[in-house]
Structure 1
Amino acid sequence: MPPQPRHTSSCACGAVLLEAFGPPIDAVACHCADCRNAGQRIQALPEAPPVLDAGGGTAFLVFRKDRMRPVRGAERLRALKLKPASPTSRYIATCCNAMMYAGFDDAKHWVSMHRDRFQGEVPAVRMRVCTGSLPDDAVPTDLPRHRGYPLSLIGRLVLAGLGKWMRGAAG
């Protein structure tokens, strides 16, 4: 039985449905240059819903890869890479150009699911990360701001990776 709670994420038109299990590793708004650039490119697609929040970041709920799966419409997901060699792909629902999640081709054990696509009770964003390339006055002060990845986030990612590894070793 998958861990609880169960979270559902759907594109703007409802044709694509993803689910994630268990609590998210974290809830962050990323302000790195790649997330800002990708957000602008995706938002410029025809009828695309917003990707960037009011502060210019992309809000994500971060889950272990093995705790996210498509329920409906997987064939409608298209990967967008900013550069061909980039390990990061942003998956867009082609039916309505909604950004669904960012996944990684390398060894990362997590996916960053776009927070605005979730239904129901959605955890609040806890921090803004990767703000270092922006002037201080360009980043909202509504949440803690970190120039890179704070130790608390790195620790949560490491613990989640250990949990996945231990689950695999036991199973």
Structure 2
Amino acid sequence: MSGTADIGCACGRTRLEVLGAPILVSECLCNSCRAAAGRLATLPGARNILTSYGATSCAEYRKDRVRILSGAEHLSEFRLAADAGTRRVVATCCNTPVFLELKGAHWLSIYLHLWPHEARPKAELRTMVGALPDASNLPDDIPNLKSHTVSFYAKLLGAWIAMGFRNPKIDVVGKIEA
């Protein structure tokens, strides 16, 4: 994937532009991602972002390659707990989860459902499979990794080096409870 992609929420009021290829495209099965997706799916008009086997699918992008084109006023953060270091950002115009951001991270994990189906990046791996009580129902189309690997972290470190060790701030004004 090269060039730019214009992606957005379900109603189209919140739009993002992503530049170039993602650092990585993954499906996460950690307890936090599954719990947050379940709670966000209970918001009015929201849809479930989990795959049929309970994963959240994301493209990890350098923050300096993501631009909010419209709808910034609709972006609100959701945290599983008040002191959680991870925030999920939701477009409240239609309660569409947009991205996940870890405290101190130089990348955003942008949810794949924002892309039109035909243009959606393909997942390269599943991670945190070890968090599942039973992983036997997972497809074997891509690697199913028990946890994050050295290669996973190396890709993130390489992106941070390419960014000159910068960490752009993504401001979000609202907060939501789910």
TM over 0.5: yes
Give unmatched runs, 5+ long, in structure 1: none
Does the residue aligned with 1:111 lie in a helix, a strand or coil? strand
* Structure-1 separation of matches of 2:35 and 2:138: 16
Q: What is the letter of the counterpart of residue 111 of structure 1?
A: L
Hey, what does 1:36 align to over in structure 2? 34
Once the two structures are TM-superposed, the CA of residue 48 in structure 1 deviates from its matched residue by 0.7
Once the two structures are TM-superposed, the CA of residue 152 in structure 1 deviates from its matched residue by 2.1
Matched, 1:75 2:73: yes
Deviations 1:35-76 (A, max 9, x none): 000010111212112211112100000001111121000000
Q: What is the letter of the counterpart of residue 118 of structure 1?
A: W
Deviations 1:98-150 (A, max 9, x none): 1000113x321100000011136222011110111112224333321011112
* Structure-2 separation of matches of 1:77 and 1:110: 17
* Structure-1 separation of matches of 2:12 and 2:165: 35
- Root-mean-square deviation (CA, aligned residues, Å) is 1.7
Hey, what does 1:118 align to over in structure 2? 115
Matched, 1:141 2:143: no
Q: What is the letter of the counterpart of residue 56 of structure 1?
A: G
Q: Is the 8 A contact 1:12 1:49 kept in 2?
A: no
Q: Is the 8 A contact 2:9 2:94 kept in 1?
A: yes
Give unmatched runs, 5+ long, in structure 2: 168-178
Hey, what does 1:109 align to over in structure 2? 106
How many residues align structurally? 164
Once the two structures are TM-superposed, the CA of residue 90 in structure 1 deviates from its matched residue by 0.4
* Structure-1 separation of matches of 2:78 and 2:165: 32
Q: Is the 8 A contact 1:32 1:130 kept in 2?
A: yes
TM-score under structure 1 normalisation? Answer: 0.89
Of residues 63, 66, 69, the one that matches 1:65 is 63
Of residues 128, 131, 152, the one that matches 1:130 is 128
Does the residue aligned with 2:145 lie in a helix, a strand or coil? coil
Query: Identity over aligned residues, as a percent?
Result: 32
Deviations 1:20-43 (A, max 9, x none): 111100100000000000010111
Q: What is the letter of the counterpart of residue 109 of structure 1?
A: H
Q: Is the 8 A contact 2:160 2:166 kept in 1?
A: no
* Structure-1 separation of matches of 2:20 and 2:141: 27
* Structure-1 separation of matches of 2:41 and 2:140: 24
